[in-house]
Structure 1
Amino acid sequence: MKQTGLILPDDWISKISRLSIATSSKLRGQHKGSHRSQRFGASLDFSDFREYTLGDDVRQVDWNVFARTEKFFIKRFLDEQEMRVHILLDATRSMGEEKKWLFARQVAAALGLMVLNRDDRLSFSYVGETHAMPFRKKGATYRKPFLQVVSSLEDARGVGSFTQDGIKVLPKDSTVLFIVTDGLEPMANWEQFLKRLPRFSGDVRCIQIVTEEELNPSFSGDIRLIDSETASDVNVSVSNRVLANYEKTRLEHEAQFDALVNRFGIRKTQLIVEDGLQNALFNKLLKSRWVQ
Structure 2
Amino acid sequence: METLREALTKEYLKRLEEMAIRLKHRLSTDGYSGARRSMAKGSSLEFSDYREYAAGDDLRRVDWNGFARFGKLYLKLFLEEKQASVHVFLDCSRSMEQDGKFLAAKKLAASFAYVGLCGGDQVHLFAFGDTLRAQKRNLAQKGRFLETVDFLDKLEAVGGTAPLSAAMGCGPLRRGIAVVISDFMTDNGIEDTVKLLQQKKQEVLLVQVLSKEEEEPKVGGAVRLVDAETGETRDLELNEAMAAAYKKALMKQRAALREFCSRRDAVFAHVCEDEDLLRVLYEMMR
Which TM-score band (shorter chain)?
0.7 to 0.9
CA separation of 1:191/1:245 partners in 2, compared to 1, >3 Å: closer, same or farther? Answer: same
Q: Are 1:140 and 2:142 counterparts?
A: yes
What's the offset of the Cα at 1:17? 2.7
Tell me the distance in 2 between the aligned counterparts of 1:185 and 1:267.
Answer: 19
Identity %: 21
Match of 2:231 in 1: 231
Where in structure 2 are there 5+ consecutive unaligned residues? 42-78
Match of 1:86 in 2: 87
* Structure 2 contact 194–204 (Cα < 8 Å) conserved: no
CA separation of 1:159/1:89 partners in 2, compared to 1, >3 Å: closer, same or farther? Answer: same
Q: Deviations over 1:113-134 (max 9, x none)?
A: 1111222111111103782243
Matches within 5 A, 1:12-161: 12-20=12-20, 21-22=23-24, 23=26, 24-28=29-33, 37=36, 39-42=37-40, 81-128=82-129, 131-154=133-156, 156-161=157-162
Opposite residue 262 of structure 1, the aligned amino acid is S
What's the offset of the Cα at 1:146? 1.4
Match of 1:55 in 2: none
Greater per-residue helix proportion: 2
Q: Which runs of 4+ in 1 moved over 6 A?
A: none
Q: TM-score, normalised by structure 1?
A: 0.73
Match of 1:205 in 2: 205
Tell me the distance in 2 between the aligned counterparts of 1:160 and 1:270.
Answer: 18
| Structure 1 range deviating more: 97-106 or 110-119 | 110-119
Where in structure 1 are there 5+ consecutive unaligned residues? 31-36, 44-77
Tell me the distance in 2 between the aligned counterparts of 1:231 and 1:177.
Answer: 31
* Structure 1 contact 29–82 (Cα < 8 Å) conserved: no
Tell me the distance in 2 between the aligned counterparts of 1:27 and 1:245.
Answer: 41
Q: Between Structure 1 and Structure 2, whose CA radius of gyration is higher?
A: 1
Q: Are 1:256 and 2:250 counterparts?
A: no
What's the offset of the Cα at 1:170? 5.5
RMSD between superposed Cα atoms in Å = 2.5
| Structure 1 range deviating more: 209-218 or 162-171 | 162-171
| Structure 1 range deviating more: 165-174 or 224-233 | 165-174
Match of 1:182 in 2: 183
Match of 2:277 in 1: 280
Match of 2:215 in 1: 215
